Structure 1
Amino acid sequence: MTTRLTVAVEPRYFRSSSIQSRFLATALRHTVRPTLSLWSHLPFDLQPPNFVDFIARALPVPEGSHIRPVSVGAAEAEWISGPGVSEASALADDHIILYLHGGAFLTCGLNTHRRLVARISAAADRPVLNLAYRQMPAVSITESINDGVEAFRWLLDQGYRADQITIAGDSAGGYMAFGIARAVIDAGWGQPEGVVAISPLLDLEAGAKRAHRNANRCDVFPLSALERFSKVAQRRERRDGVPDRPCPVDMDVEGLPPALIQIGSREILMPDAEIMANRLVAGGVPCEFQVWSRQVHVFQAASWVPEAQRAVREVAQFVQSLEGMRAVGLDDAIEA
């Protein structure tokens, strides 16, 4: 395992804490957290059907959104163009987002994240390919990442360049985003435009989380749930005979594109975000590390929370700035 770096990246703090966000944190602490704690202590593995994504089908999307289902290899996906955004095409100057939903590689999907993706699309003025990658227990995490790589390859086949594609994801989708970016570069397909990681899970091991100040402060995840998840994931990989695959916190960061990491200040996944941000900066990769005071895991999905609206705007500003970063890079290369 890679030695943990102690380089101190300078976070950007957002200190507001609205009544809505406090209500959300209290509700999750008294519902989701105890449910996950109960799951973590069951004497057997329980992985029920993805009821969460099924129920989420009834939730409305922002008015004016355009959604078009597509098939991408073994996975399902959909093009999402938020209100005011032109539907996806492959024009030479188009820039798009590949989005990977969270859910601990066990749950959630297109339905749970459609509203968040549509809001990001509208704010960034970019169409988005929202991917429903295969998940455990049907496949291992390695196969989930392979679905994401196949989706990136599919976008290239549609006429997009690698440097027109930003890879974004929340929670487990953040793991996917960095893993896909690494695989794309290693395959020689070019460098993606950027990576956006929202409340990312970036280390399957629980050791750093156990030693962190947030080990028992998170409103959503008890430490026991992360430890149980780690064991479930490792058993699934061993069952498939999957070769050792470094988690994002341990991967080679050379050549990775600029990244944005957003994390709530009390999240149990804070050490994952801190380690990744440190490693990126130490490796010469531009990284904006945002810490949002007292915000819960993937609070960006709660559109009625003021901080969520602001965070989505921050994502949009970062995504839009990537085109300018690339233009400066090209100018520097020409002058050299």
Structure 2
Amino acid sequence: MIGRRINALARLQRLRPRRGLRTSRITLGQVTLETIRTAESAHRPLSDGVILYLHGGGFFLGGFDTHSHVVVALARQTRLPVVHVEYRQHPDVTVDESVADCLRAYRWLLDQGADPANTVVAGDSAGGFLSFATVLAAQAQGIGTPAGVIGVSPLLELDGERRSGHANFAEDRMGIGLALPMIVECVGPKNSDAYALSPVNGVLTDFPPSLIIAAESEALRCDAERMHEVLTEAGRSSTLKLWPGQLHAFPAFLPFLPESREARDCMVEFIQGCLGTSKRSAPGTADTVTGSGSAKSPSA
């Protein structure tokens, strides 16, 4: 109920026209996709490049309107079409069914002519979980692997055992660490293992290059660092950036902050790198990068 009220309030943004953008929607069963294009990308085929964006919201709120700022910003800065997915959420479904919805959206993109090598999957918070989980599900089913994956403050470990022992667990200013066990209890899969569904425990030997962004003091820093660690151990290309003084999923929830713009610039640079001439980083390269603005490496 609360999630639907927040979504309804966010819908008021539609009263202000988004200039220079073309949007279209398609419904696949119970999943709705919105494609946002700028004038520059209006007639470009999806095979030239596309971003699949999966919004956050704890698996029970969020949608096109709550995340329109970050999606529109990515469309403008990259000059690529962005396909935003409204997947089913709690209380209608559990997390594994949300993953299935996002995988369906990814399949649809490929059916429309998108080239996996020119596709980047991105998401924040719960959408970060879905981004990593969708790519793992696609690989498990033999579907083309995208060029890259972005997770902003991603939830990546449903059981939360490591997270509960992290220094940030009780210090998160939004209370994410304390709230997550209750959220996972509500939205978690009823007939499958939370450990197996957690992306951090997935088969990562062929995982594409990833960019992981988190706030330095948030509880999900633990998930970000752990995923970066296991990707590095698997010989995959992973970049982890931490921002001091910020909140969970700040680029999506606080899009007008200078730090949010810096984080989006990092995302754009990563996307452009994935879709450039060298679409894959060499196995074994894993960088923890200090950002040009306020980002810090985990050791800072």
Answer yes or no: is 1:200 the counterpart of 2:154: yes
Larger Rg: 1
Partner Cα distance (2:91, 2:181) in 1: 17
Structure 1 position 48, deviation (Å): 4.0
Which position in structure 1 is the counterpart of 2:239? 288
Instruction: Tell me the CA shift for residue 216 of structure 1.
Output: 2.1
Aligned counterpart, 1:158: 112
Q: Which residue of 134, 145, 161 maps to 1:191?
A: 145
Residue equivalent to 2:92: 138
Match of 1:148 in 2: 102
Match of 1:102 among 48, 56, 59: 56
- In 2, the alpha carbon distance for the partners of 1:327 and 1:222 equals 35
Map of 1:23 onto structure 2 = none
* Partner secondary structure for residue 112 of structure 1: coil
The answer as to 2:41 corresponding to 1:86 is: yes
8 Å contact kept, 2:149–2:209: yes
Count of aligned residue pairs for this structure pair: 278
What runs of 5+ residues in structure 1 fail to find an aligned partner?
A: 1-46, 331-336
How far did residue 71 of structure 1 move?
1.5
Whether 1:318 and 2:270 are equivalent positions in the alignment is yes
Distance in 1 separating the partners of 2:46 and 2:225: 37
Unaligned runs of 5+ in 2: 283-300
Paired letter, 1:316: V
Shift of 1:140: 1.1
2 CA distance for matches of 1:186 and 1:222?
30
* Partner deviation per Cα, 1:161-181 (whole Å, 9 max, x = no partner): 221211000000011001111
Match of 2:25 in 1: 69
Deviations 1:224-275 (A, max 9, x none): 31121122123xx22xx34664301111111111000000001110110000
| Alpha-carbon contact 1:106-1:136 (below 8 Å) kept | yes
Distance 1:280 1:61 in 2: 41
Distance in 2 (CA, whole Å) between partners of 1:203 and 1:329 is 25
**Higher helix fraction: Structure 1 or Structure 2?**
1
CA contact (8 A) 1:266 1:294 kept: yes
Q: Could you tell me how far apart the structure 2 residues matched to 1:64 and 1:126 are? A: 13
Task: Tell me the distance in 2 between the aligned counterparts of 1:290 and 1:282.
Answer: 18
Equivalent position of 1:299 in the other structure: 250
Specify the alignment match of 2:291 in structure 1: none
1:18-49 per-position Cα deviation (integer Å, ceiling 9, x unaligned): xxxxxxxxxxxxxxxxxxxxxxxxxxxxx545
SS of aligned partner of 2:123: strand
| Matches of 1:125 and 1:133, distance apart in 2 | 24
| Equivalent residue letter for 1:280 | L
What TM-score does the superposition give when structure 1 sets the normalisation length? 0.78
In the aligned structure 1, how far is the partner of 2:262 from the partner of 2:278? 25
SS across alignment from 1:50: helix
TM-score with structure 2 length normalisation?
Answer: 0.87
Q: Deviations over 1:186-205 (max 9, x none)?
A: 22122111000011011112
Q: What are the equivalent positions in structure 2 for 1:6-21 lying under 5 Å apart? A: none
Q: How does 1:171-186 map to 2 (within 5 A)?
A: 171-186=125-140
CA distance in 1, matches of 2:3, 2:280: 48
Amino acid at match of 1:289: L
| Aligned partner (choices 65, 69, 72) of residue 115 of structure 1 | 69
Q: Distance in 1 between matches of 2:281 and 2:238?
A: 16
**Structure 1 pair 49/199, CA: closer, same or farther in 2 (3 Å)?**
closer
> Structure 1 residues 286 and 61 mapped into 2: Cα distance closer, same or farther (>3 Å)?
farther
CA distance in 1 between counterparts of 2:213 and 2:43 reads 26
Paired with 1:163 and 1:232, the residues of 2 have a C-alpha distance of 36
